[in-house]
Amino acid sequence: MSETPSRDFIRQIIHDDLESGKHSEIVTRFPPEPNGHLHIGHVMSICLNFGVAAENGGRTYLRLDDTNPGKESKEYVDAIKNDVHWLGFDWEDRLTHASDYFGELYESASRLIESGGAYVDSLSADEIREHRGTLTEPGRNSPYRDRSVEENMDLFRRMREGEFGDGEHVLRARIDMSSPNMNLRDPALYRIRHIEHQNAGDEWCIYPMYDFAHTMSDAYEHITHSLCTLEFEDHRPLYDWFLDQLEPPHRPRQIEFSRLNLAYAVTSKRKLNALVEEGIVSGWDDPRMPTIAGMRRRGYPVASLREFVARAGVTKKDKLIEMGVMENCVRETLGEQAERRMGVLRPLKVVLTNYAQDQVEMMEAMNHPARPELGTREMPFSRELYIERDDFMEDAPRKFFRLKPGGEVRLRFGYIIRCDDIVRNESGEVVELHCSYDPDTRSGTGSSDRKVKGTIHWVSCEHAIDASVRLYDRLFTVVNPNAESDFHSVLNAQSLETVEAKLEPSLGELPVGQAVQFERLGYFCADEKDDAPAARVLNRIVTLRDSWAKLEKQAMQEQG
């Protein structure tokens, strides 16, 4: 896999700006709001902003857009920094906050008032909404729109000093209440919030709105290319209006690109927060969540996520990417990296009736079929084994090449065995198989030319490690849950299944964060939160094959 990007339209713009001499250095920023955890859409923005700067010897700021203290916390700040670092990017000494510029933003807002570009409005929030108009009807001027510069300056100063209550006044830009662009209908610049800020403490009781803070922070940091997703395209005229009015020494340029939307997932922070708050998932880092924390805990390698966003590409058109594309990136990465092991998820006991009671043999097993440098390991083989319940069928069809009554199968790295008898419990359920092994068919000895069509995995009962294994699936049953009026109605009740598995003994030493392939089953890793040496808890990262591929392709075609 290669992360070398093609020259998309943003990279072409940057290339042209450097070639023309418009810029001698590229400076970008990644400006997340610390009001939730980052998700797969942010991976695209992180890779783009840090990537285009690095490709051109430039710099990137990690700027925390902390202008809404009621929804922000240090927990989210720390999580954002951890996620960006985990993806492999370093902001060095360029960690900033919108709150770092509260003083400069206040001065810039004051300059707008002095130039007649802003006024203090005393309408209530409902009244402002009523005056704003609709997409088909122009707005109406506030009765406070024509206050004098002196009165506006006095009111704004008193807002800053804490004289008024929340919502009593708001500072608005004076632009055009009849503009077809709703963002230009005298947008709010500052509101009163008597609440402590996670970074600025209780120094401020008025806070700037996002559009104003974001634009001017870009200017203060000498950002050359402010890369935003398409929902900010209609905000660009306001971005440029602020720059035109305030004429900062440096003028950044906003460019929009399409969001990365993932099939069978939601990335709205409101919906993600609802999943957490309602207990539908165990937290922001639940491995079913499309958050970076969730994907890291599930075991997705960094390289696979970066490859995924590279394949998705940077375009101007909104797109919905198949979940299978991301999962295939994970499979390709882990297929090269992960050592092979054997685990039985749904155990069925096998007793080799002609194998000595106390005998134990050590079978040599390859750690990776395509990477001999990873060596081999020894697996204990004994009279009593576990096999996968699905590898036995009593009334098997003709092309079933696993174990069946009277049938033979090879045990991987072991012997050929034949099923001779079935043991049932009182309910008639098969609970044990009595088999016989052929001692002349040990793998690797070449002592027998006898072949069978099926090979299955196994573990020794006496030596097996007990583990709870979590099998994850898509969180939603439809390709685009965002299109549903109530996303709760399309939740996948089978998105998590926990099984009590039996694993080969070497997995008792599996470090947290290291992925392995369970032969024939998929890729797994120890859960970073719940796993313990005495009580192993593993997550299935991804299956070996995409069982949703055909269904997902059909659903994506129907979506257009």
**What would the pLDDT profile of 158-216 be if each residue is shown by its tens digit?**
999 999 999 999 999 999 999 999 999 999 999 999 999 999 999 999 999 999 999 99
Report residue 224 CA to chain centroid gap: 28
Q: Hey, is 260 helix, strand or coil?
A: strand
CA 435/CA 407 separation, integer angstroms: 10
* Stated pTM of the model: 0.92
User: In the chain, what are the domains?
Assistant: 9-257 (3.40.50.620), 269-339+467-559 (2.40.240.10), 343-457 (2.40.240.10)
Q: Considering just the CA atoms, what is the radius of gyration of the chain in Å?
A: 30
Q: List, in order, residues 6 or more apart from 220 with CB less than 8 Å away.
A: 101, 104, 248
Q: What percentage of the chain reaches a pLDDT higher than 90?
A: 93
Arithmetic mean of pLDDT over the chain = 94
What pLDDT sits at residue 6?
A: 64
Tell me the two tokens of residue 553. Answer: 């392709």
10 Å CB burial of residue 374 (0-12, 13-18, 19+) is: middle
The band of 549, judged by pLDDT with boundaries at 50, 70 and 90, is low
CA 42/CA 170 separation, integer angstroms: 31
Amino acid letter, 85: H
Q: Report which secondary-structure segment, H or E, holds 168.
A: none
| Predicted confidence (pLDDT) at residue 391 exceeds the cutoff of 50 | yes
Q: Which of 269, 311, 349, 412 is catalytic?
A: 269
| Predicted confidence (pLDDT) at residue 447 exceeds the cutoff of 70 | no
Q: Hey, is 253 helix, strand or coil?
A: strand
- 115 vs 119, 393, 549, CA distance in Å? 10, 83, 59
**Alpha-helical segments (H) within 87-194:** 102-114, 125-131, 149-160
What average pLDDT does range 74-85 have in this prediction? 96
- Residue 259 a catalytic site member: yes
CA 121/CA 345 separation, integer angstroms: 65
The band of 2, judged by pLDDT with boundaries at 50, 70 and 90, is very low
Q: Hey, is 335 helix, strand or coil?
A: helix
Q: What percentage of the chain reaches a pLDDT higher than 70?
A: 96
Nearest partner of 464 among 429, 435, 506, judged by Cα: 506
- Residue owning tokens 């720390």: 78
* Cβ pair 49, 28 in contact under 8 A: yes
In the beta sheet, which residues pair with residue 411? 456
Instruction: Give the dihedral of Cα atoms 294, 295, 296, 300; nearest 10 deg.
Output: 160
- Residue 269 a catalytic site member: yes
| Predicted confidence (pLDDT) at residue 450 exceeds the cutoff of 90 | no
From the CB of residue 50, how many other CB atoms can be counted at a distance below 10 Å?
23
Q: Considering only 12-16, 111-115, 550-554, which range has the smallest mean pLDDT? A: 550-554
Pairing of the two strands 188-192 and 170-173:
antiparallel
Report residue 136 CA to chain centroid gap: 38
CA 119/CA 102 separation, integer angstroms: 19
- 347 vs 111, 118, 248, 503, CA distance in Å? 73, 71, 69, 10
Residue-wise pLDDT tens digits, 130-160: 999 999 999 999 999 999 999 999 999 999 9
CA 308/CA 315 separation, integer angstroms: 14
What average pLDDT does range 377-404 have in this prediction? 96
* Cβ pair 504, 459 in contact under 8 A: yes
What pLDDT sits at residue 457?
A: 97
Residue-wise pLDDT tens digits, 230-259: 999 999 999 999 999 999 999 999 999 999
| Predicted confidence (pLDDT) at residue 4 exceeds the cutoff of 80 | no
Residue-wise pLDDT tens digits, 8-60: 999 999 999 999 999 999 999 999 999 999 999 999 999 999 999 999 999 99
CA 53/CA 61 separation, integer angstroms: 10
Residue-wise pLDDT tens digits, 260-281: 999 999 999 999 999 999 999 9
Q: Which of 81, 132, 259, 349 is catalytic?
A: 259
- Any idea how long the chain is? 560
What average pLDDT does range 309-327 have in this prediction? 93
| Predicted confidence (pLDDT) at residue 423 exceeds the cutoff of 80 | yes
CA 430/CA 444 separation, integer angstroms: 32
CA 523/CA 338 separation, integer angstroms: 8
The band of 545, judged by pLDDT with boundaries at 50, 70 and 90, is confident
**Distance between the two ends of the chain, CA-based, in angstroms?**
29
| DSSP per-residue codes, 303-318 | HHHHHHHHHH---SS-
Q: Report which secondary-structure segment, H or E, holds 433.
A: strand 430-437
Tell me the two tokens of residue 224. Answer: 């050359």
Q: Hey, is 60 helix, strand or coil?
A: strand
Q: List, in order, residues 6 or more apart from 337 with CB less than 8 Å away.
A: 301, 515
CA 239/CA 212 separation, integer angstroms: 8
Nearest partner of 251 among 12, 23, 11, judged by Cα: 23
Q: Which of 33, 151, 361, 384 is catalytic?
A: 33
